[in-house]
Amino acid sequence: MAITSRFVTYVSGFYLKAPIYACLASHSHSPSASFSNMTVSLAALLFVTAVAVPIITALLLLSSAKKGRPGPADGCRRLPPSPPGLPLIGHLHLLGRLPHRALRSLAASHGPVMLLRLGRVPTVVASSSAAAEEAMKTRDLAFSGRPGLLMAQSLLYGGRDVGFAPYGEYWRQARRVCALHLLGPRRVASFRRVREREVAALVARVRRDAAADGEANLSDALICYSNAIISRAAFGDGDYRLDGDQGGEKLRQVVADFQELVLASPMREISPWLGWVDTLTGLESKTRCTFEALDGLLERVIADHRNRRSSGRHAVLGDGAEVADDHRDFVDVLLDVNEMDEEAGFQLETDNIKAIIMDVFAAGTDTSSTVLGWAMAELINHPHEMRKLQAEVRAAAGGAITEDHLDGMPYLKAVISETMRLHAPAALLIPRETTEDTELLGYHIPARTRVVINAWAIGRDPAAWERAEEFVPERWFAAGDALLDYSKVGQDFRSVPFGAGRRGCPGAGFAAPTMELALANMLYHFDWALPHGTGAGGDVLGTPALVDVSEVFGLSVRLKEPLILVAKPWSG
């Protein structure tokens, strides 16, 4: 019965939210469309509650749980151990609302390599640094596939992006373009002015909020900051918005919807005969609305860039050489690459360009703002470390912090490394798929098995880290200077927030100055505290209240509650 009720919670947790999503997405359309969507969604809600959940529950009750299997065999080869599962849903009910935590608990009983069945999908979960190193270094090629996730297919032009593209020639070429032309060191440096302008806007916003009522909603301000940087880098200075968008709010909502949807598991992925649930809950209509809104925007942006190109108003690369003062945005670069690489036999169609830009939004916005939110929360909860970082930042500059100051701030880098060790935003990375039969820590892993790497659990592994659950930035100095440069992905498999290997994040070098500049400026310009009477754990005996570090799981695992802080301007 307990198992059944947990499954109902799982179904309702995701699917009862879906109708609300559909209503939100419909704001970009006519009021009547919005109303009819809401009506369909309410009907769907009633239907799912009254009919679908009881049917599925009955099916589960009719079936009995399978016994756990320590190392089932595939022929004579040993498969990883599995916990007991249920018919139909396998181990889905064990994931709960915070799958990274649930998977770590399961790994404590079943080992660092487990085999789960999520609906129909056999999934291997790697939870130790040794398993991560074997998968992303020693046997990198065999673990470099991505599963054809249904939502990614629907939202990313059938997987014509980089992050969700299957391993193969298209991915290799698109990844090269991304790593070399969009996210290489020179291109990242070319966006320095964008970052410095947006960080000045962030500081001004916090100052304004603090002057108005003494408190700043830092979560909101950080999302705006990282969205603005990616928008400017991708689209340039044009003011591209969705229809009737005030202050970019609608675009922000649609990007947030996109990020939430892209890794969602529709019912039809669990079992094709449950596909009708996705229609009734509004998941399908929300996916369609979100895709259409972003596709329409990208069409306009690309058409506008093409017009400017045909009228000669853009900078171009000469003979493949970098232009010294190159301010081209990602769309310009992708259109240039398209023309140059046509001769090299690689063609980027308009849909590929749109998919790659969507990738950059999905991968680059939420992740950076989430790390910044966690860093501020940890620093508030660790005042000694906050003062130490403030001393470093304030000693380095006599005014606003620019990118020239960042190299002289090792403690800043240690704080960000430590934040990502404890709070890898992509807690389970992006799912992978084996491209061939292979092995992991001695277990046989068949081709086309889904692979999840629990970066969150690896960062907190007590076998790899002393005081693993504590925030101790100093540990990164003991680990050696080389590891302080966290943007060099794949150096230390005890902390893998960017993944590693062929599929490792190509955007770490872009994310690093974005995060460092913001954190340094926030600590330079303000002294921070929790508003009186808020936070968790404070008591009358004088124990200070702490930021509530409850999490919510998504494309990024972020703070459940918005980070509202008192910001007191510092005048030196």
**Which token pair is 390?**
């403030």
Candidates 90, 236, 459, 504; binder of ligand HEM (CB under 6 A) is: 504
Residue with the shortest CB distance to ligand HEM: 499
497 binds ligand HEM (CB under 6 A): yes
507 binds ligand HEM (CB under 6 A): yes
Candidates 425, 459, 535, 554; binder of ligand HEM (CB under 6 A) is: 425
**Which token pair is 32?**
């009547």
In sequence order, what are the beta bridge partners of 528?
567
DSSP 3-state assignment of 275? helix
Residue 198 to residues 230, 486, 519, 521, Cα–Cα distance (Å): 11, 23, 13, 11
DSSP 3-state assignment of 156? coil
- Least Cα distance to 21 among 223, 269, 361, 264 occurs for 264
Closest to ligand HEM by CB, 37 or 365? 365
**76 has binding-site annotation:** no
Distance between CA atoms of residues 544 and 540, nearest Å? 9
State which of positions 357-396 bind ligand HEM (CB under 6 A).
359-360, 363-364, 367-368, 371
430 binds ligand HEM (CB under 6 A): yes
* CA-CA-CA-CA torsion sign (225, 379, 425, 191): positive
Specify the DSSP element, H or E, that contains 564: strand 564-569
Candidates 53, 178, 353, 389; binder of ligand HEM (CB under 6 A) is: 178
Separation of first and last alpha carbons in the chain: 62
Please, what is the minimum distance in Å from the beta carbon of residue 66 to ligand HEM?
30
For the chain, how big is the Rg over CA atoms in Å?
24
Closest to ligand HEM by CB, 209 or 359? 359
Contact 210, 566 (CB under 8 A): yes
Contact 428, 455 (CB under 8 A): yes
Please, what is the minimum distance in Å from the beta carbon of residue 194 to ligand HEM?
12
Distance between CA atoms of residues 472 and 382, nearest Å? 9
Candidates 483, 511, 518, 567; binder of ligand HEM (CB under 6 A) is: 511
Give the count of residues interacting with ligand HEM (CB under 6 A).
Answer: 28
DSSP 3-state assignment of 5? helix
Closest to ligand HEM by CB, 284 or 366? 366
Candidates 379, 429, 530, 557; binder of ligand HEM (CB under 6 A) is: 429
State which of positions 90-119 bind ligand HEM (CB under 6 A).
none
Contact range with ligand HEM by CB under 6 A, out of 202-210, 261-269, 334-342, 501-509: 501-509
Candidates 93, 100, 101, 175; binder of ligand HEM (CB under 6 A) is: 175
Binding site for ligand HEM (CB under 6 A): 162-163, 175, 178, 183, 359-360, 363-364, 367-368, 371, 425-426, 429-430, 432, 497-500, 503-507, 510-511
Q: Which residues are annotated as a binding site?
A: 505
